[in-house]
Amino acid sequence: MEKLAIFGGKPVRENKIFYGHQTVLEDDVKAVTEVLTSDYLTCGPKVSELEKKLADYCEAKYAVSVSNGTAALHCACLAAGIGPGDEVITTPLTFAASANCVLYVGGTPVFADINPKTYNIDPESIRAHITDKTKAVIAVDFTGQCIEFDKIRKICDEYNLILIEDAAHSIGSLYRGRKVGSLADMTCFSFHPVKNITCGEGGAITTGNDEFYKKLVLAHTHGITHDESLMEEAPHEGSWYYEQISLGFNYRLTDIQAAFLLSQLNKLDSFKEKRKAIVKKYNEAFKSIPEIIIQEEIPESDSCRHLYIIRLSLDKLNCTRREFFDAMSAENIQCQVHYVPTYFFPYYKHLGYSEGLCPNAEEVYKGILSIPLYPTLTEKDTDDVIEAVKKITDYYRR
C-alpha cells in the first residue's frame, strides 16, 4: 500500500491547488483598465449596462447590482417587508448569510431540514415548519443544483409566502430549461472570487415584480431617489435635487466591478461547460468507491456547479473527516468544508438554537468535503485530485 504524504510518502503533486479559484482572463483586465481611464469609477454607465445584461441573461425583468451576495439577501428581505415577528424558513447547510439576513431586519430564521441525497432544502420540511408567523422562504441552490422549485413554489403559493432564491452558487443553472434568476419572487447572486463568475466582490438581485424592484433600488442606495414620481416634495428645485424617502444602505457596485462582471458574463456559458465536464469526470471516478457518496441531482436541474462535494462514509473508513482532510492537504490538494450548519455557531446558540434541529443536515455535514472545481483546472489537475482521493481511501479502508 502506498504511503500517504502526511506520513512521509511522496505527494500526488508538487504544487498545491485549492477547492476554488477565480478565472481572470485578458479581456477582463482590459475591461477594468478601460474604466480606470474613463470619467466614471462609480455611479456611471457600466452599472446600468451590467444590470440590463444580467437581467437579459437571467430572463428576468429587472436586475439590481449590489456590493456583495450578503447585501443582495439583505435588500431582498427589506423589499419583502420582513420584520419583527416574522419567520423565514431556510436551510442550515449554507453560508451564514442566508439566515443572518433575516436577523438584520428583525425577523426570525427557522431551519428546515435537507434532502439527504441532494443536500438541498426538503420541500416537505418547509411545509412542516410553516406557522401563522411565516412570511417567506429563503431556499438555497446548494452547490449550484436548483432547488425543487415546483414543489416549493406550490407551497409558497398555498400559504402566500414570498420565495427568495439564494442563488449564490447557481448563476448559469437552469430548472426545466428556465434560467435561475427568472423563477423566484427575488433571486440573489454572489460574485465572490470562487463563485461561477466574479468581480472581486459583488452581488445582484433579479425580480419580475415592479414593487420589489422599486424597494430594492431604494434599499441599495440609502433610500435616496431622483425619481420624481416617488418624491414627496413638489415642485423640486432643479435637476440636481433628490430625496431620501426611506432608510437604505450604501450597497452600490462600482463601475470597475461592473465592467469586470460584464466581461465575465460573456464567458459564463463556457465556464459552465468546463465545470460540467469536471463534475462528470469526478462522478465517473467516484461512483464505484463504496467509501465515497456522490451528491445526487434532480433531473429538472441543469446545474452550473459551484462546488463538488464528496461525502465520506466514515463507518467504512479508519479515519475521521479531519484526518482525510489533512491527508488531502499533504498530497497538495486543499479541500474545504461547506458548510458548518448555521445553528451550530455560538451566536445562534446564544439566540436559543440548539443541535438536533435538522438531523439530515447534521448527518451529511459530518462527512462532506469540497474538492477542487473551477474552469482552469487541467486534465492533470483533476487526475491528481482523483488519485489523491483513491490513495487516501485505499489507505484508510476498513
The DSSP line for 86-115 is -EEEE-SSS-THHHHHHHHTT-EEEEPPB-
Q: Taking all residues of the chain, what is their mean pLDDT, rounded to a whole number? A: 97
What is the reported pLDDT for 32?
98
Q: What share of the chain is helix, strand, coil (3-state, %, to 5)?
A: 40, 15, 45
What is the reported pLDDT for 227?
87
Instruction: Name the one residue in this structure whose C-alpha cell is 450548519.
Output: 341
The set of cell numbers assigned to 231 is 418624491
What is the reported pLDDT for 280?
98
- 206 three-state secondary structure: strand
Over residues 333-390, the pLDDT tens digits come to 999 999 999 999 999 999 999 999 999 999 999 999 999 999 999 999 999 999 999 9
Averaged pLDDT for residues 208-212: 98
| 388 neighbors 12 (Cβ within 8 angstroms) | yes
Averaged pLDDT for residues 171-198: 98
Contacts of 205 (CB under 8 A, 6+ apart): 63, 64, 66, 72, 75, 76, 79, 186, 187, 188, 189, 216
What is the reported pLDDT for 215?
98
Residue 395 in this model has a pLDDT that exceeds 90? yes
The reply to whether CATH 3.40.190.10 applies to domain 5-20+268-396 is no
Averaged pLDDT for residues 174-189: 98
What is the reported pLDDT for 235?
65
Over residues 67-89, the pLDDT tens digits come to 999 999 999 999 999 999 999 99
What are the DSSP calls for 227-293, one per residue?
Answer: -GGG-SSSS-S-TT--EE-S---B-PPBHHHHHHHHHHHTTHHHHHHHHHHHHHHHHHHHTT-TTEE
171 φ/ψ sector (left φ>0, alpha ψ -120 to 50, else beta): beta
CA atoms within 13 A on the CB side of 22: 13
What is the reported pLDDT for 54?
98
Q: What is the CATH number of domain 26-265?
A: 3.40.640.10
Contacts of 235 (CB under 8 A, 6+ apart): none
Domains 5-20+268-396 and 26-265 share a fold: no
| 341 neighbors 91 (Cβ within 8 angstroms) | no
Averaged pLDDT for residues 247-255: 98
Residue 109 in this model has a pLDDT that exceeds 70? yes
Beta-sheet strands, E only, within the chain: 62-66, 87-90, 108-111, 134-140, 162-166, 174-175, 178-179, 186-190, 203-207, 224-225, 243-244, 292-294, 301-302, 308-312, 368-371
Residue 294 in this model has a pLDDT that exceeds 80? yes
Strand (E) or helix (H) holding 71:
helix 69-80
| Phi and psi torsions of 52, nearest 5° | -65, -45
Residue 112 in this model has a pLDDT that exceeds 70? yes
Distances (CA, A) of 161 to 6, 7, 131: 51, 54, 11
CA geometry: angle 332, 361, 6, nearest 5 deg: 20
| 4 neighbors 328 (Cβ within 8 angstroms) | no
Query: Residue 270 burial by CB count (10 A; 0-12/13-18/19+): exposed, middle or buried?
Result: exposed
Question: CB neighbours (10 Å) of residue 63?
Answer: 23
Residue 186 in this model has a pLDDT that exceeds 80? yes
What is the reported pLDDT for 258?
98
Residue 234 in this model has a pLDDT that exceeds 70? no
Over residues 17-54, the pLDDT tens digits come to 999 999 999 999 999 999 999 999 999 999 999 999 99
Residue 103 in this model has a pLDDT that exceeds 90? yes
Q: Show me where the domains of the chain are located.
A: 5-20+268-396, 26-265
Residue 198 in this model has a pLDDT that exceeds 70? yes
**Sign of the dihedral through C-alpha 272, 50, 215, 222:** positive
Over residues 125-171, the pLDDT tens digits come to 999 999 999 999 999 999 999 999 999 999 999 999 999 999 999 99
Give me the residues paired with residue 310 across strands.
Answer: 294, 369
What is the reported pLDDT for 111?
99
Contacts of 15 (CB under 8 A, 6+ apart): 332
What is the reported pLDDT for 240?
86
284 φ/ψ sector (left φ>0, alpha ψ -120 to 50, else beta): alpha
